[in-house]
Amino acid sequence: MTERPKLPHEGMVLVSDGRKALLLRNAGNEIDWNLTVDKVLEVPDNPPTAEQGTDKPGRAFASDGARSAVGQTDWHDLAEASFAGDVAKAFEQAAAQAKAVIVVAPPRTLAELRRQFSPPFKARIVAEVDKDLTRHPVHDIEKHLRAEP
């Protein structure tokens, strides 16, 4: 982010990682922000990969008779991608009337969210911050976003 983001009254901020998302609304104005929690989303419990799927990876057979192993599915990666889709949908609905939105997420989650957002919604994103701030209190998130140069 190269300049301080502008977030008008009722602007929205999404702070997410692969397991939790905070949907925040600016109850203040563009100069004096007051971020409040609009909604919290959390991924349901996801058992270890070893407890999901099949016992061992499958095998692929080529037409020349060669065989090769197929990598084991990482169910946690799939759950995080699915969660990002749910978060994107919920955020688009919550921010339907917002003129400006900010998205904060670690790089991998941010990439998945970008893929999930609709093109008209992407046009309202005024800033993207590639950091994991989901475990920070709301006032720290606000201070961090306001301090971005």
The pair of structure tokens assigned to 23 is: 């949907």
- Looking at per-residue pLDDT, the higher value among 46 and 111 belongs to 111
Is 142's pLDDT higher than 80? yes
Considering only residues 1 and 19, tell me which one the structure prediction assigns the higher pLDDT. 19
Asked if pLDDT for residue 100 goes beyond 90, the answer is: yes
pLDDT for the residue 52: 52
In a domain, 64, yes or no: no
What is the three-class DSSP state of 70? coil
- pLDDT mean across residues, the chain: 83
Q: Is the pLDDT of residue 60 over 70?
A: no
Domain of 88: which CATH number?
3.30.420.60
Q: Indicate whether 66 belongs to any domain.
A: no
Q: Look at residue 12 and tell me if it is in a domain.
A: yes
Do the domain assignments include residue 11? Answer: yes
Q: Kindly tell me the sign of the dihedral angle through the C-alpha atoms of 37, 97, 8, 118.
A: positive
Q: Note whether residue 94 is domain-resident.
A: yes
| Mean pLDDT along residues 72-98 | 79
The pLDDT of residue 99 is 92
Q: Are 100 and 6 in contact (CB under 8 A)?
A: yes
> Is 17 inside any structural domain?
yes
Structural domain boundaries, residue 89: 1-43+78-149
pLDDT bucket at 78, cuts 50 / 70 / 90? low
Q: Is residue 5 part of a domain?
A: yes
Q: How many structural domains compose the chain? A: 1
Model pLDDT, residue 131: 94
Q: How far apart are CA 83 and CA 79, in angstroms?
A: 6
Residue 116, classified by CB atoms within 10 Å of its CB into exposed (0-12), middle (13-18) or buried (19+), is middle
Reported as a single tens digit per residue, the pLDDT across 7-55 is: 999 999 999 998 899 999 999 999 899 999 999 999 876 555 555 555 5
Residue 146 belongs to a domain? yes
pLDDT in the model for residue 53 = 54
Element (H, E) at 12: strand 12-16
